[in-house]
Structure 1
């Protein structure tokens, strides 16, 4: 009995201290539990050396006190169920000792049964402890698992906060970069508009000499016919002052005056159309389409470009060939934009032929040809072909890129073909294609829907 009680007290105290972690959580209870172990050890020694019946009642009081403490003190409630395993052993041993004390004879008759009951209660206690210990380990494992999950959740929450902060900082950075890019884009657009306007002014400068040459012819006619008309009027006045007036001569003079005025009107309109064309070319495009005669537009800009180049270089000369389809009809286009396209193509063609001429090639005659055709009921085609130096194959895929030019620095902005391509494809829904062979020819083809 004493050894069993000692083992029960010893292992129960150890179990309580370990399970409840009394050394950290309940230092005062931990000292009392250690004292209980010392008392139990002392009682065991007393039983061995003194062999007194008094100690067994102390064991009963000690076990009952520990069970009572487990049920009455809230700090020990987590280990309360473990004492259920000890209960049967305490009750049976207490019952046997009381019967032995009060009715010794009866105890002798049931002693074997009491000992068997104590043995089974001890086995029950040990089995219950093992099961409880196993459950405790499972619960501890589950607790540790929950603790790990909580720790992981805490770490994840901390990481989420950090990520949200990083995302917020990155978003602010991207917003700042976006604003900077938008500002840069706005500045680039403004710069592009300025460069486009400069390109227009540059092409207008190229036209100026040609326009001066073209406008001089009708002005000469106007001046000449005006002078002749003044002389005819003076002659008519003299004839009317005569007493024998010649009616036939007067009619003839009046007819000449009428004819002169018609020619003055014709050449005045010609000069007016040239000036209007110059103004249209210089001002910003309205993007409003008008039905115009492509043949007349191409012929006019071809001569303006040619005479403009000759005004800058008297040695320049080229053969101009035109093959216009008389059944072309009028096409709805933006006149200013289409004029810029034609001027760019003609200027580039003349430049290519002049560069080839400067190589000193024998029997070379610079030639620029303009052809218009109606391909079908919905498309017209305008070709500008020159027998100049051609375009190298290595740069052919770059010719429509903004600011790309094969001309020497200061002789080209690199926007002419880029603007022409955008005007034809985006502005008019057409095509601008090129066919070339280096050293032989270049031919640009414009296809427009009618």
Structure 2
């Protein structure tokens, strides 16, 4: 699973954006208030009203971005709590998008040179599904972190070409879609995490969901991430976790979850 440090860095980045806005607009308002005092002393009513209007607009922006930071913190607290094992109605698209940003910014905070193209394609017809959000969030975060690791490793290889002579562009994609069911049971939701890294060798593929198996260097992986992810999906949610890979071209992890849990 992603380290606490990486996750914390991702959260910090997400909060920093709205806080920057709050700080900037607060500074501007401080300057405007000084101007307002000057114009009041001059008796320039029209200018006083104009400055007051600007201050009010900035206060609204401060309020908006403050609420945004508050929402991020509340969301993270919800997902960081120890799993209660209780399923709840969850917006799977929002959850996937949230952990995509956390994973990417967490890795960027750890290594400033890291960069990758991130793509999303969310099926808006899904709505909410019945899952344990903390657990599914951990699975998605783990798959994304592995995907970013794979594209970074390929980028570091001697000749990372996309095909022909095109330069390699590290890309990680996450998609969701709803799959219908003839049984009338609500069907399934499919989450795919795809990378264009180096792919997984067959000898590794056969062991990939086994506990403590890892291909990462010592100290970089526990080998528990995919094993725990597999158990969360299959045992905890009655779903499926599959992997498809092509050497030199990339890997795709496919999560399938019942809509009605």
Residue of structure 2 in register with 1:263 after alignment: 61
How far off is 1:251 after superposition?
4.6
Please list the CA deviations of residues 220-239 of structure 1 after superposition, one character each: whole Å capped at 9, or x if unmatched. 11100111223333434444
* Largest Rg, 1 or 2: 1
Please list the CA deviations of residues 373-418 of structure 1 after superposition, one character each: whole Å capped at 9, or x if unmatched. 1222532211110001111112223211111111111110111111
Listed as ranges, the matches of 1:44-443 within 5 Å are: 203-246=3-46, 249-360=47-158, 361-362=160-161, 363-376=167-180, 377-443=186-252
CA 1:257–1:244 in 2, change beyond 3 Å: closer, same or farther? closer
Larger fraction in strand: 2
How far off is 1:277 after superposition?
4.0
CA 1:279–1:324 in 2, change beyond 3 Å: closer, same or farther? same
Larger fraction in helix: 1
Structure 2 CA distance, aligned partners of 1:256 and 1:329? 39
Structure 2 CA distance, aligned partners of 1:327 and 1:251? 47
Structure 1 CA distance, aligned partners of 2:48 and 2:238? 60
Aligned residues: 248
User: Over the residues paired in the alignment, what is the CA RMSD in angstroms?
Assistant: 2.1
- Structure number with greater CO (CA < 8 Å, separation at least 6) is 2
- Unaligned 5+ runs, structure 1: 1-198
CA 1:421–1:391 in 2, change beyond 3 Å: closer, same or farther? same
How far off is 1:350 after superposition?
0.5
- Unaligned 5+ runs, structure 2: 162-166, 181-185
Structure 2 CA distance, aligned partners of 1:280 and 1:203? 18
How far off is 1:241 after superposition?
4.1
